[in-house]
Chains A and B, each alone.
Chain A
Amino acid sequence: MILDWEISVMTRKEMEELIADYAFGRLDKETYEAYSKNLVNYPDIAQEIEDTKKVFAKIESMDFNGIIENRTRNLSVKVNQRRISKKSKNSTSFLIKFGVPAAIIMAIAITIFKGGVGDKSETNDESQTGFRQKLQNVVVVDANVESILDYDYLSLSSQIYVAESNDMQINELVDYILTDNKEEKIQIYNQISNMVPATDYQIYDDIDDLKEDEFQILLKEIENVQI
């Protein structure tokens, strides 16, 4: 029990600072009792406390805590969903940021490589569509070895589609074929025969892959060749 003479006198400033805490019951027991006793000396502060209590009774009745509770009920679900979505976006954005440019660069490199840099023959100017790709694999060369050497430049270059190329370009080989040097011709023939499929089987195999309209195009090309 606090005796009257033990109650400390509180200044106006001290009293004003604790108006709200007193009105809302936030003071500890001893301070509350001391404040209550001092209140008699400050009637205006007592009135302010009454006004505050009335207004805040209304605020209390609004149950803001309940409103916020209602609003945040599903917050954890929303947060978890966004975190999952963010993780998949991160991997997608990584793919878009690095994967797509890398894929484009690779596609360009493959196109250039397959396009055959430096090959100036008429057939190499054609775009590398599926059909042309097949055509490239078809060696339309007469299996008769000796007759190769009789082909002129144009007919040979338009007929021979080499499956695999060595370092020497086909045009250069054709040029050599036109020389009179028989030994050279034989050497060149050997090089050409190494470049083309060794057996007719491979040739016919590739031809079998052609569709009818593709084959017709091939025939037309051959028709233009003088043998």
Chain B
Amino acid sequence: MTALSLEIDSALVKEYIETGSHRAANEIIRTYRKFVFATALRYVEDYDDADDVAQDVFIRAFDSLAKFEGKSSMKTWLYKITVNISLNYIRKRKILSIFSFGSNENESGYASDTVLPDQSLENSEFERDFLKILSELPEKQRETFALRYFDELSYEEISKLLGTSIGGLKANYHQAVKKITNRINDIRLGD
């Protein structure tokens, strides 16, 4: 997180709080939508649910933006909101699944709806396998991997998010990458 991006965030927050500016709100969403969505997706394991969660996150964020003191970065703040809302969502889903007979709560929602028009079936299957493997990782390893690999955060930033030491994060990252590599090789050898 560069000093410049922190400054931009502060300016946007200030503009939104003072004027309720749609422009500022849209800019914040545009900047962090992929990060929020991807984080939600890792928890709820379903694209549609992740979409719902991401919307909830931004609505909650805008409702409480006045309380954002700027002590942490916007990314850190949004990450924590996303994790909280995702975990609540999972709990609600579990409770609802008890009352709806015939639905399989363990079934991942990564399936057929991920096939994009220009995506081959093989690629979509690989994507599904990869996401499934990711979901099987312990939470700390999964989050360390995703935040480092996909979001390219520094170990210092990840440490602030996850509350883990930098040495621990490096070990988590190594373990996660190794497991993913081994699992994908196992699947491919099995094909």
Contacts and interface: CB of A to CB of B under 8 A. Distances in A.
Interface of A: 16-21, 23-24, 26, 48, 51-52, 55-56, 58-59, 61-62, 64-65, 67-72, 75-76, 78-80, 82-83, 86
Interface stretch (B23-31, B70-78, B83-91): B23-31
Given A67-B116, A69-B34, A76 B26 contact: yes
B59 A72 contact: no
Interface stretch (B3-11, B156-164, B167-175): B167-175
A83 B26 CA distance: 13
Contacts of A69: 34
Interface of B: 22, 25-26, 29-30, 33-34, 37-38, 41, 47, 50-51, 54-55, 58-59, 62, 114, 116, 123, 126-127, 130, 148-150, 152, 167, 170-171, 173-174, 177-178, 180-181, 184-185
A69 B30 CA distance: 10
A20 B150 CA distance: 13
Contacts of A55: 180-181, 184-185
11 contacts: A17-B173, A21-B173, A58-B126, A67-B116, A68-B37, A71-B51, A75-B51, A75-B55, A76-B26, A76-B30, A79-B55
Nearest to A58: B126
Contact of B38 (A61, A68, A76, A86): A68
A188 to B, nearest CB: 69
Contact of A48 (B116, B127, B178): B178
A52 B127 CA distance: 17
B37 to A, nearest CB: 5
Contacts of A75: 29, 33, 37, 51, 54-55, 58
B142 to A, nearest CB: 14
A82 B51 CA distance: 13
B35 to A, nearest CB: 9
B59 A82 contact: yes
A16 B174 contact: yes
Contacts of A16: 174
Contact of B37 (A24, A52, A71): A71
Given A24-B149, A51-B185, A55-B180, A68 B34 contact: yes
Contacts of B170: 17-18
Given A48-B178, A62-B127, A79 B51 contact: no
